[in-house]
């Protein structure tokens, strides 16, 4: 009852905030998920639960316990319940950037602070909002997410959308989302996502090592290597675009140079695929319009990962020490934090940032 009383109070507050439509769908969509939760232990003891679903949910509980014991992540009731959804993603995130800038638009919210996306539980609503931004001249991209975190304020459930991943991918999502509960710095999406991505990667390697799965570990490292190489292509294009936009050329000239940069990206990608013997796992990335907004996730999730890998190394590869050092970074003023992260980047022995492809 307290949960729903709080919900009613929040709705009343948001109705007077000037953004009632967006907040109503966000709060309503989240509360629908909370109301649909089923305890995983009960599902596992129910003979009506299919064998495949039971196996995946059992894996989740194993990973959940591993996260506490081996990674020092929060011990709570998150990811101990399950929600079946009738859609491929739980939310659709809208990203936007000016036509001639790679710097993303930000949206600011009461709890999460300022972030580089705006999430919708309805794809149609998300795309409608994106269409409105596009009519105003923004570059836009709408990407589906299989999970999101309430940062420990609620007991987040496992979602059927998360089960689309293979076993390694599913475990990775659990570690990533719990990392957001471990540490979250308001108004710094790049910090938060790089930290969570680092915890995710460390966790998956420890998980596979602990299970005595050398083939799985080799596969994960190959997947990580390919993702890092692809990210470098995207970051290279982003840097080239930033240079184009800084020259002060007429808009027509910049527009042409922008299209040339994305054409070059496609050529480089084909060459990269050839070096992978034709592996085409990133082909879907090119199915959306290529624009500045399309590059926002890579700069948010991936760029700072080497800094956190270096911080982990300096912490003696001890998770608690790593969390303490990361939290100390997060406590720094914004400019000092940025300088400290860049200094870590400069000496990192791990130059390959890795980006999750399922959610920003």
User: pTM, whole model, 2 decimals?
Assistant: 0.87
Q: Which residue has the tokens 């036509």?
A: 99
Contact 91, 145 (CB under 8 A): yes
Which among 82, 85, 78 is positioned nearest to 29, based on CA atoms? 85
Angle at 196 between CA 148 and CA 304, to 5 degrees: 125
For 98-120, the pLDDT digits (tens) are 999 999 999 988 777 888 999 99
CA atoms of 55 and 59, how far apart (whole Å): 6
Find the range with the poorest average confidence among 2-6, 15-19, 34-38. 2-6
- Residues 153-174 have pLDDT tens digits of 899 999 999 999 999 999 999 9
Give the pLDDT of residue 7.
Answer: 37
| pLDDT, tens digit, 9 for 90 and up, residues 301-322 | 778 999 999 999 999 999 999 9
- From first CA to last CA, the distance across the chain in angstroms is 33
Asked if pLDDT for residue 349 goes beyond 80, the answer is no
Mean pLDDT taken over the chain: 90
pLDDT given at position 359? 38
Structure tokens that stand for 139 in this block? 């570059």
3-state secondary structure of 87: coil
Per DSSP, helices labelled H in the chain are 2-15, 20-35, 40-45, 51-71, 123-135, 167-182, 189-210, 214-246, 251-275, 296-301, 305-314, 319-331, 334-347
Tens-place pLDDT, residues 216-274: 999 999 999 999 999 999 999 999 999 999 999 999 999 999 999 999 999 999 999 99
What backbone phi and psi angles, to 5 degrees, belong to 68? -75, -50
Provide the pLDDT confidence category of residue 354 given band limits of 50, 70 and 90.
very low
Does the pLDDT value for residue 342 go beyond 80?
yes
């Amino acid at each position: 009852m307290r949960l729903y009383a709080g919900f009613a109070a929040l709705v009343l507050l948001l109705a007077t905030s000037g953004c009632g439509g967006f907040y109503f769908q966000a709060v309503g969509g989240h509360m629908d998920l909370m109301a649909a939760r089923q305890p995983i232990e009960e599902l596992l003891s129910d003979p009506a639960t299919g064998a495949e679903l039971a196996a995946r949910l059992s894996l989740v509980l194993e990973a959940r316990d591993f996260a506490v014991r081996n990674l020092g992540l929060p011990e709570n009731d998150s990811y101990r319940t399950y929600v079946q959804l009738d859609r491929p993603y739980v939310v659709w995130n809208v990203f936007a950037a000016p036509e001639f800038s790679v710097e993303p638009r930000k949206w600011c919210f009461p709890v999460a602070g300022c972030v580089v996306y705006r999430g919708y539980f309805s794809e149609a609503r998300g795309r409608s909002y994106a269409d409105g931004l596009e009519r105003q001249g923004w570059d836009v991209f709408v990407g589906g997410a299989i999970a999101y975190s309430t940062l420990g304020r609620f007991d987040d459930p496992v979602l059927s959308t998360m089960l689309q991943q293979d076993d390694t991918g599913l475990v990775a999502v659990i570690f990533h989302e719990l990392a957001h509960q471990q540490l979250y710095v308001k108004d710094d999406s790049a910090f938060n996502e790089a930290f969570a991505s680092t915890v995710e990667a460390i966790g998956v390697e420890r998980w596979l090592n602990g299970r005595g799965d050398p083939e799985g570990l080799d596969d994960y490292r190959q997947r990580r290597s390919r993702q890092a190489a692809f990210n470098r292509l995207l970051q290279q294009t982003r840097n080239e675009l930033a240079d184009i936009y800084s020259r002060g050329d007429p808009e027509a000239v910049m527009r042409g140079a922008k299209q040339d940069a994305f054409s070059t990206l496609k050529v480089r990608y084909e060459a990269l695929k050839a070096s992978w013997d034709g592996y085409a796992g990133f082909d879907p990335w090119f199915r959306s319009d290529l624009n500045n907004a399309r590059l926002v996730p890579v700069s948010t999730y991936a760029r700072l990962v080497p800094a956190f890998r270096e911080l982990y190394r300096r912490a003696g590869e001890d998770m608690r020490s790593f969390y303490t050092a990361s939290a100390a970074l997060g406590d720094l003023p914004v400019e000092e934090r940025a300088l400290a992260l860049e200094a870590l980047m400069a000496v990192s022995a791990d130059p390959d940032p890795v980006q999750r492809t399922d959610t920003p």
